[in-house]
Amino acid sequence: MYDRHPISAEQILARLTKARGSLDSLQAADLFDHDQDHYGGLAANDEIARCAKLRTGMNVVDFCAGLGGPARYLAHAYGVHVTGIDLNANRVEGARDLTLRVGLSDRVTMIEGDVTAVPLADASADVVVSQEALLHVPDKGRALAEASRLLVTGGRLVFTDWVMHGAIAAADADLLWRGLAAQSLQSISGYGDLIAVAGLQLEMCDDLTVTWGDILQTRFAMYKALADERRAAGMAPGEDEFYNAYSALVRLVETGYLGGCRFCAVK
């Protein structure tokens, strides 16, 4: 699905070239309006950093890091080292390219891999973060167990994800799977149980449903505009299934079945 996603490194660079005339002397901050593939942009990263109690020099692992937007922002704004892991080879390649272009390769490393089998050592991270991505992972308990394994004692896992507030119809679950690769969605309490089983203590859980509901409408409009932009640039506009699923998402949030939550847990 992410090979056909409306946001890509290629599309970000095309936009920046158009806006700046060239890609010379690109700074990390030039990317921040374009490379954050989650709701709430940089403010959401700052909330994650606050909950994680980030301090300069910490080692952070970003699960499902995408194009590396949050990883670069945390390295740039908080002076941490971030290892981003993503399953999609094009995402990893795009993230590396963007990171190199803004001179952050010494502090942001991207690895291609699965968050349910992370190729990093036990107790090698002070903090594990993840934003709006575990919805794609079939075995969320396994991903949380991996986060727990990577953390030092006292380290924190802070993540946001879509959650179910009520059982959704099989037809809607199918739409979300086919268009957004969303699967085995959890309730807030279901995530609480998985966090405990992973050996972590839940410190905080903030229901973000209202905030995300507002953002969702704008985001949907942006995706439609991006599809038009891609068409005009001669690229494939993306899949109808993506837009159908996004439209279902808007409806399910409006009717109270789906929402978002930020979890913070300590080892």
Cβ nearer to ligand SAM, comparing 8 with 189: 8
Cβ nearer to ligand SAM, comparing 92 with 153: 92
| Contact between 135 and 162 (Cβ < 8 Å) | yes
| φ, ψ of residue 139 in degrees (nearest 5) | -105, 85
Q: Which of 37, 40, 70, 38 is nearest to 54 (CA)?
A: 70
**Residue nearest ligand SAM, Cβ-based:** 66
For the CB of residue 136, give the shortest distance to ligand SAM in the complex, in Å. Answer: 4
For the CB of residue 94, give the shortest distance to ligand SAM in the complex, in Å. Answer: 9
Cβ nearer to ligand SAM, comparing 66 with 155: 66
Cβ nearer to ligand SAM, comparing 3 with 24: 3
| φ, ψ of residue 260 in degrees (nearest 5) | -125, 160
Cβ nearer to ligand SAM, comparing 166 with 261: 261
Cβ nearer to ligand SAM, comparing 63 with 257: 63
Q: What Cα–Cα distance (Å) separates residue 44 from each residue in 38, 72, 90, 160, 211?
A: 8, 14, 24, 9, 11
For the CB of residue 70, give the shortest distance to ligand SAM in the complex, in Å. Answer: 5
Query: Token pair of 182, please?
Result: 């969303």
| Contact between 128 and 147 (Cβ < 8 Å) | yes
Q: What Cα–Cα distance (Å) separates residue 218 from each residue in 11, 19, 211?
A: 19, 22, 12
3-state DSSP assignment of residue 124 = coil
Taking the C-alpha atoms of residue 120 and residue 105, their distance in angstroms, rounded to an integer, is 18
| Contact between 91 and 1 (Cβ < 8 Å) | no
| Contact between 170 and 140 (Cβ < 8 Å) | no
For the CB of residue 219, give the shortest distance to ligand SAM in the complex, in Å. Answer: 11
For the CB of residue 180, give the shortest distance to ligand SAM in the complex, in Å. Answer: 9
Interface residue list for ligand SAM (CB under 6 A): 2, 36-38, 64-66, 69-70, 85-88, 91, 114-116, 131-133, 136-137
For the CB of residue 239, give the shortest distance to ligand SAM in the complex, in Å. Answer: 15
